[in-house]
Amino acid sequence: MSDLPDTFDYIVWGAGLSECILSAALTRAGHSVLHLDSWQQYGGAWQSPTLRDLESQLAEVAPGARLAWAQPAEADAWRSRSRYFCLDLSPRLCFCRGDTVSALLQSDVSRYLEFLPVSGLYTVDEAGCLERAPVQRGQLFRSDRFSLVEKLHCGRFAEFCVSCQPDRDLADAGSFPELLARHGLRSGPAQRLFALAVGMSPPDSPAETVVAGIRRFLASCGAYGPSPLLVPKYGASEICQAFSRHAAVWGAVFHLGADPDRPPAEARRRLIVSDRFAQSGWLDLGRKRRLFRQILVTDGSWAPRSEDQQDADEVRLAVCMLPGFTRPLLAMELPPETGCCPTGTRVVHLLQPCSPGESPPTDCVQCALAPFTGLRFERLPPCCQCASEPTAANLPTETALDKNLGQSDSTGQPADSAGQPADSAGQPADSVGQRADSMSQTADSVSQPDDSVGQLADSARQPDDSVGQPADSASQPANSTGQPADSAIQPADSASQSADSAEQPADSSGQPADSAGQPADSADQPAAAADDQQPFRKPSCILSVCFVQDDLSDCLNPGALPDNVTVVPSLYSDFDFDVAFQRAKELFDELCPGQEFLPRPPDQEDLVFDQPASEAPTVNGDCGEGENEGAAEAAPPAAPAAEVTPNGDSSESQPENAR
């Protein structure tokens, strides 16, 4: 470092995402930048360390974090594969038409990065079961959780969100459930689809907030494929390294492992400091927001493969509400194709932001997130903080566990979502998620056949009878609440067949006969369809890391800062990268007003200016030998190529025999 200049235009302390973006923008604008960080890796709070690095540096990068192995005897075997892991400290998403992707394309930094689409998007219903969100038109019309009328209303509401004028159409909209009700959508699946899966906001948020998220989501659909969301391969720190490389190409100097108390140079214009290095008094910590984080390494996926799923190793995303929190939980499952874990494993990131001043149900991260993890994974290690099992108040009930896995209770009959076993006649009890179509009239099953026009099948939530085969609609009576039968079961013809189940003979086992008059299979003979389906097994947890991150973006105290100091937030609690890019652009506009933020670099052919061949001196082939020699002597030597460096200077090298 002895050959470094004594002064720079800007000195940046901290190698986080916003700092690296700002460093690249300042260097691209022609300023000299010295970039420093006390850590040995790029990224700061956005690092993606290997398994060994995470264990050795956990206390430094995430104070108060706890790491626990489900089977401590297997820890050494996994440490030997440490380099196959890239465990993000701050994983985030990219919208295909968001500020992140636009800046990457404009600055040509995207050449250093690779992305994968988020193919599976899930929500969680009232019973704690995962449900795949139909965010595409084809998925919506194949979904069995919405009636035909609701599907039409969903399409029209999406068109309304895209074409509406927020100042005019949403001025008196009220809450988001009220806006949905005015468009004919009052069911829980509709609220979870638009508020959580698409808008990524709490369902009871103001309508303007959720509609803004829906508009951003829908605007990104179809940009680079059917999925509107992307994740970077090898972790979020790759984006920090890409902008650092871009800054270094244009003249920035980086020094990792620097001592904050002994800066190697001085800033002529301004000192840009990450909030990790902010002095006491510069920040008002009373306005900080906490982010509960948990990293899980598992041996499989949390969701079974669906019918419309083409690739089993897809990036999955789940958005749901946990008790005691006012903001939704984001659960991200990364397969080995992302480069974040070895083959046969998955990395699951849980992000639970807390609102300012919010008191979570418990300060133990693992116990607070147990309502989600307890339903999805086995062999969870004991609580990292209190060295015990998660509290019973936060664990899901056995009924929810059985329903999530499709298990049966002690009677051998599948339990419904309320925890009641099927009745003695072999008919399953009514499910909480089973809804009658709002446009169809429910009638008594003895006097009126079932209505199959508006009622949609829900095979994943409606369990079969004890023999595994659904009974024919002629023998399937409506339940005592007047709930019509599933539309996957064909209704009886009102002209030729009565809906009264008493007219159908039953065999000795109490099971009704099918439409051909043959008795149903006995209880000890499984159905043929069940033999073809492999039971879904919950994945086992291998490693759990729990910690809390602080979002200090609202804690800046401008009156306490020196005139030549700018503080940059190192972390944001939002689910995407766009906030970091927006903050970096705001600071750049303050420091360099009127200059372009991350302009596109010149093309490679523009960096070297060669003399065109048509302008080069030529020798007349019709001349004699002497004339050719004279012409050759009269022709001046070709000028050497002028190379333009990233700083804009041109240098010419003269050959030794130049005249």
Nearest to 302 by CA among 294, 292, 314, 310: 314
Which residues are paired to 488 by β-bridges? none
Q: Number of helices (H) and strands (E) in the chain: give both, helices first.
A: 17, 18
Residues 248 and 393 occupy one common structural domain: no
Q: Is residue 171 part of a domain?
A: no
Place of tokens 């009565």: 498
Residues 64 and 33 occupy one common structural domain: no
Looking at residue 608, what is its pLDDT? 57
Q: Is residue 517 part of a domain?
A: no
Q: Per-residue pLDDT tens for 373-385?
A: 988 888 888 764 5
Residues 267 and 367 occupy one common structural domain: no
Q: Enter the tokens of residue 470.
A: 């659904």
Residue 283: which CATH number? Answer: 3.50.50.60
Q: What is the count of structural domains for the chain?
A: 2
Q: Is residue 561 part of a domain?
A: yes
Looking at residue 200, what is its pLDDT? 94
Residues 259 and 364 occupy one common structural domain: no
Q: Is residue 630 part of a domain?
A: no
Let me know if 46 is exposed, middle or buried by CB neighbors in 10 A (0-12, 13-18, 19+): buried
Looking at residue 627, what is its pLDDT? 43
Q: Enter the tokens of residue 1.
A: 């470092």
Looking at residue 485, what is its pLDDT? 39
Residues 295 and 315 occupy one common structural domain: yes
132-167 core/surface letters (b: 16 or more CB in 10 A; e: else): bbbbbeeebeebbbbbebbbebbeebbeebeeeeee
Rounded Cα gap, residues 133 and 124, in angstroms: 9
Q: First CA to last CA across the chain, in angstroms?
A: 41
Q: What is the dihedral of CA 316, 317, 321, 322, to 10 degrees?
A: 60
Q: What is the dihedral of CA 223, 224, 229, 234, to 10 degrees?
A: -150
Q: Is residue 427 part of a domain?
A: no
Q: How many Cβ atoms from other residues are within 10 Å of residue 226's Cβ?
A: 14
Position 3, amino acid? D
**Contact assessment for residue 335 and residue 309, using Cβ atoms and an 8 Å cutoff:** no
Nearest to 166 by CA among 127, 207, 224: 207
Please give the full DSSP string across 572-604, using - where no structure is assigned. Answer: --SSBSHHHHHHHHHHHHHHSTTSPSSPPPPPG
Using DSSP, state whether 219 is helix, strand or coil. Answer: helix
Q: Is residue 294 part of a domain?
A: yes
Residue 320: which CATH number? Answer: 3.30.519
Q: Is residue 342 part of a domain?
A: yes
Looking at residue 127, what is its pLDDT? 83
Residues 393 and 312 occupy one common structural domain: yes
Q: What is the dihedral of CA 156, 159, 161, 163, to 10 degrees?
A: -140
Looking at residue 303, what is its pLDDT? 81
Residues 541 and 400 occupy one common structural domain: yes
Residues 295 and 345 occupy one common structural domain: yes
Which residues are paired to 116 by β-bridges? 231
Residues 273 and 331 occupy one common structural domain: no
Residues 383 and 313 occupy one common structural domain: yes
Instruction: Output phi, psi for 243, to 5 deg.
Output: -70, -30
Residues 282 and 293 occupy one common structural domain: no
Residues 256 and 302 occupy one common structural domain: no
Cα 41–chain centre separation: 24
Structural domain boundaries, residue 28: 7-48+233-287+554-591
Q: Per-residue pLDDT tens for 434-486?
A: 333 433 333 343 334 344 333 333 433 344 443 344 334 333 434 443 444 34
588-627 core/surface letters (b: 16 or more CB in 10 A; e: else): beebbeeeebbeebeeeeeeeeeeeeeeeeeeeeeeeeee
- Residue after which a domain boundary falls, among 501, 522, 551: 551
Q: Is residue 364 part of a domain?
A: yes
Looking at residue 379, what is its pLDDT? 85
pTM of the model: 0.72
* Residue ranges, the chain, pLDDT below 50: 307-308, 310, 384, 387-533, 616-659
